[in-house]
Amino acid sequence: MNRAFSLSSELRTRIQQCQAHVVTVGLGYVGLPLALTVHEAGFPVTGLDVNAERVGRINQGEKVISYFPEDRIATAVGTGRFAATADPAILTEADIVLICVPTPLSGKREPDLTYVIRAAETISRWVRPGQLVVLESTVWPGCTTNIVKPILEKTGLVAGTDFFLGFSPEREDPGNDKFSTRSIPKIVGADDSESRDLLEAFYSKIVTKAVPVESSATAEAVKLVENSFRTVNIALVNEMKVALDAMGIDIWPVIRAAATKPFGFMPFYPGPGIGGDCIPVSPVYLSWRARDVGSETPIIDLARGNNETAPDRIAFRVAADLNQRAGKAVQGAQILVMGIAYKKNVEDTRESPALGVLRRLEAMGARCDYHDPYFPEMPMTRDHPDLAGRVSVTLTPETVAAYDAVVVTTDHTDVDYALVGAFAQMIFDTRNVFDGNGIAVPAGCLVKI
Ligand SMILES: NC(=O)c1ccc[n+]([C@@H]2O[C@H](COP(=O)([O-])OP(=O)(O)OC[C@H]3O[C@@H](n4cnc5c(N)ncnc54)[C@H](O)[C@@H]3O)[C@@H](O)[C@H]2O)c1
């Protein structure tokens, strides 16, 4: 029996019996739901995170992520088979290591793999024969093989023989109540058959379906293709919104009607731009790697540019309409920005277009406040450190009426839009919350942009 086969058979048995100890590296929006889902499938799980404060809160059973069921973490911790730690020595006990660390953009808006490299270096100190290491962070095609593998192999152990290595892209959609980590099929890719089979065996126990592909690079490409598809379609629908608006046509009923076509059309909806850790970031990884290998992605790049300037376009439109419809200059106007999260029902402002709108309006001389039930206080962010500490305005008839305009940038569910509709002087709705929810607004007060 060869070494790889005997080591993988041992791990396969532990997977089949749900005895393999799983360590997730990174307990953020992706790593924590994944760690809990693996635990809920019956495996003992330890979450490793460098953020000791977050580790402490998780071990106390705190909810940590707003859209989680109230007691999900507490229940997991209570079983004694789920815990968090900041001590990397836990990796010695791991049979399976899942890497879920950030892959942001650098200051030059290029792929920044610092976190992945650091995590791989940490794992390399503890990697041992028979372990399965899986990268889940979004990366460019070739990263697992060209970046992570050499770091782990510096130990003298060989991937596919002594330990097993692959890539499985995360498809988490924070706040989506239709699909959970468990119900979303998972792509699994590896460069050797032992690793691929182990990935498939493991993830088949965790999620509804594991879909094997031929290599780590193929699996990495799947994620970038999915997200670039979204990027291009969001740019397209925003472009169509502006064009139809010029023809006097509201795009929302158009999309609703088009979506009745049972094939060949998938609805995307207009908004103030794109945000989060995925959609704005993945296409950059794809186009950077394309250039790196002498190719190019002009359509994706055009869509990226269109999405990046979307918040500015919204702000300019607000300024123009304030002037034209209300006879007010944006200079000195008091504007309430509703929602600073990058999308509805999440407490996440990474790459949020709402902050771009707010910032552009202020650059034009407006005085902006915000309302967001997920952020009583504006968090410290890499892109907007100077906005930190501002406080969410409480919605009352008086506060709402005091603003020259309200701009809806995020369509959180738990917001009193009826109150806003009744008392706002002027509303700019980028998300169709008023018409979409049948909320009455006095004639002439609502502008869908
Ligand atoms: N958030 C999403 O919606 C989403 C969806 C799909 C894929 N992804 C991808 O998943 C990856 C993780 O994203 P996220 O949203 O969970 O990020 P996050 O910032 O929410 O969480 C990352 C966590 O990793 C921890 N960390 C960083 N370096 C570490 C290290 N060396 N060791 C241990 N812990 C470390 C951080 O402290 C943080 O808690 C990224 O590549 C992202 O692109 C994110």
Cα distance between residue 92 and residue 27, in whole Å: 19
Q: Is 224 in the pocket of ligand 1 (CB under 6 A)?
A: no
Ordered domains of the chain (ranges, CATH):
3-214 (3.40.50.720), 271-448 (3.40.50.720)
For tokens 């792509």, what's the residue? 187
Does residue 140 sit in helix, strand or coil? coil
CB 64 within 8 A of CB 33: no
Which residue is it, tokens 């300024």?
Answer: 319
Q: Which of 23, 24, 30 to mutate to test the pocket of ligand 1 (most atoms within 8 A of CB)?
A: 30
Residue range 397-416, pLDDT digits in tens: 999 999 999 999 999 999 99
Is residue 18 flagged as an active site residue? no
pTM, full prediction = 0.93
CA 171 – CA 54 distance, rounded (Å): 23
* pLDDT score of 150: 98
Nearest CA to ligand 1 atom 26: 26
- pLDDT grade, residue 383 (50/70/90)? confident
Give 275-278 contacts, CB < 8 A, sequence gap 24+: 275/342, 275/343, 275/349, 275/350, 275/351, 275/352, 275/353, 275/354, 276/174, 276/342, 276/343, 276/348, 276/350, 276/351, 276/352, 277/29, 277/102, 277/104, 277/348, 277/350, 277/351, 278/138, 278/227
Give yes or no for residue 275 CB within 6 A of ligand 1: no
Question: Which of 126-135, 247-256, 375-384 is predicted least confidently?
Answer: 375-384
pLDDT of residue 175: 80
Among 34, 48, 49, 98, say which to mutate for ligand 1: greatest number of ligand atoms within 8 Å of CB: 49
Mean pLDDT within 45-57 = 97
CB of 349 within 6 A of ligand 1: the answer is no
pLDDT, greater one: 109 or 211: 211
Other Cβ atoms less than 10 A from the Cβ of 401: the count is 11
Closest residue to atom 11 of ligand 1, CA basis: 137
- Cβ 299 under 6 angstroms from ligand 1: no
119 lines ligand 1 (CB under 6 A): yes
pLDDT, tens digit, for every residue of 188-201? 999 999 999 999 99
* Chain position carrying tokens 């060989």: 158
E strand or H helix at 217 = helix 216-246
Distance in Å, CA 115 to ligand 1 centroid: 9
Say yes or no: CB of residue 116 within 6 Å of ligand 1.
Answer: no
Catalytic residue among 143, 278, 368, 445: 278
Q: Residue 174 pLDDT more than 70? A: yes
| The ligand 1 atom nearest the CA atom of 54 | 39
Q: Across the strands, what pairs with 406?
A: 336, 427
**212: confidence class by pLDDT, cuts 50, 70, 90:** very high
pLDDT of res. 268:
97
- Residue 1 pLDDT exceeds 70: no
